[in-house]
A and B are shown apart, each in its own frame.
Chain A
Amino acid sequence: MSDTAKPTVGLFATCLVDLMRPVVGFAAVKLLEDAGCRVDVPVAQTCCGQPAYNSGDKTDAQDIAKSVIETFEGFDYVVAPSGSCAGMIKDHYPEAFEDDTEWRPRAQALAAKTYELMSFLADVRGVTSTGAAFEGTVTYHDSCSGLRELGIKDQPRALLSTVSGLHISEGKETETCCGFGGLFCVKYPDISEKMVDAKVDDIVATGADTVLAGDLGCLMNIAGRLQRRGLSIKARHAAEVLAGMSAAPAIGEPADEE
């Protein structure tokens, strides 16, 4: 396929991936390019505005959303390695402009072409395998927004099941919130701790050595609690495994000395 025939994808890296875990961004770029897309990562992107939106600061959320719309509306697709941020653009941008006749159509148009990474690969690009290898038993945590706003459940599992050497051991409570909830985890730390402990117990019971998910917020919360409890289970974004980039240190783990 010539480059001009390929669809263009604007990668919405998400603020957490950009700041905390670049390897997820590189994994996303590789997976999207392998799936026949031309990928760009606009420098003008910051945050999707969800912290403001969920805190009731609708005006700031709208301003940030406008900037995201302007930055990304020229692409064929917008893809984010996060169900939460993709859900914000897809579900909540049109809702945030429900009374705004100028911006509502633009928000709806962007929403219509915005996808979470793994569902984009499986549902839009028809990817069935990424040809990666990973030795180990993993369990998958369904992040709330991805699951309930975007219907992401089977796509990551289907892709992961083709990874050579990888075995999936399902938890009983994969669909239960991990207690992150953005600012919730710092506003109500006791309740959040109770929730993430239940999540960690469920992960431990699977016997997996690695927990995977599609959202860095949940993963940092789970990884941080696993480490605080002295458990050796590792946490990674599923894209790292699918892109064959799992030699990078897991979340919160030190880099190997060279």
Chain B
Amino acid sequence: MQPTTPNFKQNARDAIANDPLQAALGKLAVGFPMRRLEAAARLPEFENLRDQARDIKTHVLENLDYYLEAYEQKVVESGGHVHWCRDAEEARETILEICQKAGAKTVTKSKSMISEEIAVNKYLEENGIEPVETDLGEYIIQLRKEPPSHIIAPAIHLSKEQVAETFRNAHIDLAADRDLDEPRSLLEEARAKLREKFLGADVGLTGANMLIAETGTNVLVTNEGNADLTNNLPRVHVVIASIEKIVPTLEDASTILRVLARSATGQDISVYTTFCTGPRRPEDLDGPEEYHVVLLDNGRSEMIGSEFHEMLRCIRCGACLNHCPIYKSVGGHAYGWVYSGPMGAVLIPNLIGMEEAQHLPNASTLCGKCESVCPMRIPLPKMLRKWRERQFRAHTGAPSARWALRGWAWLAKRPGLYRWAMNVGVAVLGQFGGRGRFRSLPLASGWTSKRDLAAPAGDTFINQFHKGARGDQSGALMRKKVH
């Protein structure tokens, strides 16, 4: 998709003025964090598991070449194929080629953020193949031609009324006056529509929550079971995954599974957790005849060893989005590309470039909530600051803000001059601040457009202290007493 990330500020304003979106975000803001907290409280070793999960991925990233080759070998041994793709274009072409060889007209898909990243749906459509999203949320936004607004809950921005309207517009073969008031009826309608698609699909395209080097297995986590129908029913199963999804062993995968759902939705484990290894064997009752893994780099290998290395531990649970006050204010679409929230603000500049995404690392108070809930203990605020450092070095952003900042720093490095300047400034502002605060002030409109500004007291603390003043009960000065 074409990023709207450069318009982040306007996107954010629009999102804040969008009432249905705000209502949806209000529910998310309470629901997910509360359930995560309850799930963590039920598991005494949760914090230890976070350490273990972090250590697993840290080890993998230090030995990624080894594990990738070990994984490939196991996939091949189990009868599957691995396709190494440098970028989105290569991955799209590879997937198309597999589909064309299979003579595919329809491709069913289970939810995959990598497939969003490489925009494969559009590409398949342009080449005469119909992609069908089978995750309910993805299905809804596919009908609406929208990108996902959350990495695990792609249609979280919509109300059930909006979904009903979408279904009425899309499913025109059904009775126009049917009852779609309840979520249950929406679900049943989608299920019936998707069942036809599942049975008719030639290729099933899934993502992977993990790739296990020990066995050549891909792990799929869903709550709807749609991934199982996607990988089992069609003749060909294609897995699209980025290279950092590798874990060494089944044991490691189960450790990460124990923090994944708890961090994401507050479930102890997702409803369906599926392990796929290679194509159907002669003794198997079902399964695909062909099994392909499209392994995507798309900028990840550049991140190895860089200041954003630790971002590659991310398991896409969405906890940082669910807890981020910025995400909860503006939703996912404001970020303007596939990812959003704190993980998006770190990752997007790596993938679409720092110029395009310059707002994202800055639109954060660095409050640290994301890092405190990240199951992989990724230091997200630190990495946002690293982007700001890169931007500062590259002179990205408004020159006026840069000069204001540098001016302040210049003064702060000269204590004598600083003290003189502040004494003058505080005395002047104190003269005009008789009512205790300003409703507007020149050069401070960024502040006063939204809130009053407390006025200074007329003399600085340090000045008063060194004149011998001390506070009394009222907080007023007691100069006479000490002199």
Contacts and interface: CB of A to CB of B under 8 A. Distances in A.
A148 B447 contact: no
Interface stretch (B66-74, B215-223, B226-234, B471-479): B471-479
Interface stretch (B57-65, B158-166, B183-191, B415-423): B415-423
A61 B406 CA distance: 10
A213 interface: no
A228 B450 contact: yes
Contacts of B410: 60
B473 A245 contact: yes
Contact of B392 (A51, A56, A198, A246): A56
Given A26-B471, A55-B405, A243-B471, A187 B362 contact: yes
Interface secondary structure of B, over-half rule: helix
Nearest to B462: A18
Contact of B391 (A44, A56, A183, A190): A56
B413 interface: yes
Contact of A55 (B368, B388, B472): B388
Interface in B1-36: 9, 12-13, 16
Contacts, number: 236
Interface stretch (A110-118, A203-211, A250-258): A250-258
Interface residues of B, number: 74
Contacts of A51: 405, 408-409
Interface string A168-185: 000000011101111111
A58 B434 CA distance: 38
Nearest to B22: A194
Nearest to B409: A60
A162 interface: no
A252 B456 CA distance: 9
A149 interface: yes
A188 B462 contact: no
Given A13-B462, A18-B461, A41-B466, A189 B450 contact: yes
B141 interface: no
Interface residues of A, number: 82
Contact of A21 (B330, B391, B457): B457
Interface in B266-310: none
Given A19-B456, A180-B365, A30 B451 contact: no
Interface string B380-394: 001001011111110
A249 B476 CA distance: 10
A81 to B, nearest CB: 10
B419 A248 contact: no
Nearest to A186: B446
A29 B471 contact: yes
A55 B410 CA distance: 15
B470 interface: yes
Contacts of B465: 25-26, 29, 41
Interface string A62-97: 011001000000000000000000000000000100
A131 interface: no
B415 A67 contact: yes
Interface string B442-483: 001011011111111101111011100111111110000000
A29 B406 CA distance: 31
A184 B464 contact: no
Nearest to B450: A193
Given A19-B460, A22-B460, A185-B447, A55 B392 contact: yes
Contacts of A191: 12, 16, 326, 329-330, 363
Contact of B454 (A18, A195, A224): A224
A53 interface: yes
A227 B425 CA distance: 24
A53 B408 CA distance: 12
A53 B16 contact: no
A43 B423 CA distance: 13
Contacts of A196: 450-451
Contacts of A158: none
Nearest to B454: A252
Given A181-B367, A228-B451, A45 B413 contact: no
B462 A148 contact: no
A191 B253 CA distance: 38
Contacts of A228: 439, 450-452
A22 B457 contact: yes
A225 interface: yes
A30 B457 CA distance: 19
A253 B425 CA distance: 20
B206 to A, nearest CB: 35
B426 interface: yes
B377 interface: no
A221 B422 CA distance: 21
B366 A64 contact: no
B225 interface: no
Given A51-B409, A183-B401, 7 more contacts: A13-B461, A41-B465, A60-B410, A191-B330, A227-B437, A228-B451, A254-B435
Across the A-B interface, the 3 shortest Cβ-Cβ residue pairs: A248-B475, A181-B365, A26-B471
Interface of B: 9, 12-13, 16, 325-326, 329-330, 362-369, 371-372, 382, 385, 387-393, 401, 405-406, 408-413, 415, 418-419, 422, 425-426, 434-437, 439, 444, 446-447, 449-457, 459-462, 464-466, 469-476
22 contacts: A20-B454, A21-B456, A25-B462, A52-B409, A53-B385, A56-B389, A57-B406, A58-B389, A144-B365, A175-B369, A177-B367, A180-B365, A181-B364, A187-B446, A189-B449, A191-B330, A220-B454, A224-B437, A224-B450, A228-B450, A249-B436, A253-B436
Interface of A: 13, 15, 17-27, 29-30, 41, 43-47, 49, 51-58, 60-61, 63-64, 67, 95, 144-145, 148-149, 175-177, 179-196, 198, 220-221, 223-225, 227-228, 240, 243-249, 251-255
